Amino acid sequence: MSLKSWQQWGKRPEVELTLADRANESLPEMESTKQLVNLVSEVYKPGMRILDVGCNAGHYLRGLRRLDLSLDYTGVDAYEHYIKQARDIFSDDPHAEFQIRDILEPLSPDDPFDIVFCCNVIQHLPDFRVAVRNLLETTKRVCFVRTLLAENTTVVKVAITQEFTSDGEPLDFAYQNTWQSSYFVEFVRGLGWDVELIVDEFDATALETEYDTVKKELGTRVIDGKQVDGSILFNWVWAKMTPC
């Protein structure tokens, strides 16, 4: 797989060191896991198939198991090293499967899943449209996306090294993009889907404690009730998408 400048998770597996520890329960689950489980619980019925796109080490599966110990779960990620971690951690789970799949390629349009979710991935892509189309094409009933949405679209490149082209473009960077809410909603509706935007919920004290003790002052913290990474304000939103 030829990696592009923005694909930090492919080039640097250590970017998300804590996720494998969450998957194997060495660390507590993320705040977003708690809300995901609540959202899924409102639509899930035994026998439904669930697809986790951008699963990393499979950390969301721990929370979903509270709903159903035999829940039919498939996790996909573009990067082999994360899939290897997930397969090892969940080797004793007969109801979990992990595959290498890229969100920018068709996922499973010929064999769609009842519930599809994609958390904390879209903002790291150069554009959300291909990814969202692929997610919806593999969804039967409900698709949940957690990403950054606000009043305006802001394309942000976080430089990983201080090396730049003659035009000032970073040679190595990660996207942290926020998309205009109305533009996102219009795009989804144009594909024939309804969309409900849901406020992100989190325990600010838990995030601050983790920032100080686990991430060692790296990553997300809370300032004036908003999640912040460095100088970037994160306006997390859940999009719940259902066929019209």
Q: What is the DSSP letter of 129?
A: H
For residue 212, the model assigns a pLDDT of 74
For residue 182, the model assigns a pLDDT of 98
For residue 218, the model assigns a pLDDT of 65
Q: All domains of the chain, ordered by start, with CATH?
A: 8-243 (3.40.50.150)
**Backbone phi and psi for residue 88, each to the nearest 5 degrees, phi listed first:** -70, -45
The secondary structure of 147-167, three-state, reads EEEECCCECCEEECCCCECCC
pTM (predicted TM-score): 0.95
Angle at 142 between CA 138 and CA 146, to 5 degrees: 95
For residue 91, the model assigns a pLDDT of 97
User: Could you tell me which of 23, 67, 71 has the C-alpha nearest to residue 50?
Assistant: 71
- Largest Cα span, the chain: 56
User: Could you tell me which of 187, 184, 51 has the C-alpha nearest to residue 119?
Assistant: 51
Place of tokens 């920032």: 211
The secondary structure of 27-63, three-state, reads CCCCHHHHHHHHHHHCCCCCCCEEEEECCCCCHHHHH
For residue 215, the model assigns a pLDDT of 66
Per-residue pLDDT of the chain (244 residues; tens, 9 = 90+): 579 999 999 998 887 778 999 999 999 899 999 999 999 999 999 999 999 999 999 999 999 999 999 999 999 999 999 999 999 999 999 999 999 999 999 999 999 999 999 999 999 999 999 999 999 999 999 999 999 999 999 999 999 999 999 999 999 999 999 999 999 999 999 999 999 999 999 877 878 777 777 766 567 788 888 888 888 889 999 999 999 9
Question: Within 10 A of 226 (CB to CB), how many other CB atoms are there?
Answer: 12
CB of 118 closer than 8 Å to CB of 131: yes
For residue 200, the SS3 value is coil
**Backbone phi and psi for residue 148, each to the nearest 5 degrees, phi listed first:** -100, 120
Give me 125's structure tokens: 């892509």
Give the DSSP H/E element, type plus range, for residue 127: none
For residue 233, the model assigns a pLDDT of 87
**Backbone phi and psi for residue 103, each to the nearest 5 degrees, phi listed first:** -60, -20
